[in-house]
């Protein structure tokens, strides 16, 4: 057993993919991490907030959309030698939402992509791996650990059996 404090505590985060008419809503990041890459809306879990509540809040803040149900589709850990790059991500999908798209210009540009086209847009390396698995609602919950080096290059993917 490791003693307390030998590993940094991971930051809890959420991603939420909105699906509509065989399309997915993605955001091109205007800031780090992942500047210029297409990602799902999401963010950090705040104190006293559940990951589910975080995903709902972040979706409204970043897109103006309100989800009426979320489906947990992935649990992903991202680790590196850097103490500032330790994440536990809860990845959700929804097809039931309402509202008018109102992007948070500080976060990034929003765009609906066909599911086929979305697989080919510039995404973070980990997202390229888990995106097709989490949006396929016929597959089990996706679970994996993504290992990065000190320069945040993806060096290993350890996938775990689904439930």
- 3-10 contacts: CB < 8 A, separation 24 or more? 7/86, 8/83, 8/84, 8/86, 9/86, 10/77, 10/79, 10/86, 10/87, 10/88
Domain membership flag for residue 1: no
d(CA 68, CA 70): 7
Q: Tell me, what's the pLDDT at 163?
A: 57
Domain membership flag for residue 5: no
Q: The domain spanning residue 115 has which CATH number?
A: 3.90.79.10
The stretches in the chain having pLDDT less than 70 are: 1-6, 163
Q: Tell me which residue range forms the domain holding 136.
A: 11-160
Domain membership flag for residue 6: no
Q: Tell me, what's the pLDDT at 7?
A: 74
| Structural domain count, the chain | 1
Q: Tell me, what's the pLDDT at 12?
A: 98
d(CA 78, CA 8): 12
Q: Tell me, what's the pLDDT at 1?
A: 45
Domain membership flag for residue 4: no
pTM of the model: 0.93
Q: Tell me, what's the pLDDT at 2?
A: 44
* Listed residue (50, 48, 47, 73) closest to 127, CA to CA: 73
Q: Tell me, what's the pLDDT at 5?
A: 53
Check the CA dihedral 103-42-140-125 and report its sign.
positive
Contact 144, 130 (CB under 8 A): yes
């Amino acid at each position: 057993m490791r003693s307390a404090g030998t590993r940094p505590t991971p930051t809890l985060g959420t991603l939420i993919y909105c699906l509509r008419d065989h399309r997915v809503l993605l955001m091109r990041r205007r800031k780090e991490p992942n500047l210029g890459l297409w990602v799902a809306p999401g963010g950090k879990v705040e104190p006293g907030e559940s990951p589910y509540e975080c995903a709902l809040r972040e979706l409204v803040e970043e897109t103006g959309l309100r989800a009426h149900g979320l489906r947990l589709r992935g649990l992903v850990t991202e680790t590196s030698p850097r103490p500032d790059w330790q994440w536990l991500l809860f990845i959700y999908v929804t097809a039931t939402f309402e509202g008018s798209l109102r992007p948070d210009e500080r976060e990034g540009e929003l765009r609906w992509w066909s599911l086929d086209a979305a697989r080919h847009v510039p995404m973070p390396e980990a997202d390229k791996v888990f995106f097709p698995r989490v949006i396929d609602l016929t597959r089990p919950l996706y679970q994996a650990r993504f290992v990065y080096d000190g320069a945040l290059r993806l060096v290993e993917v350890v996938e775990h059996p689904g439930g």
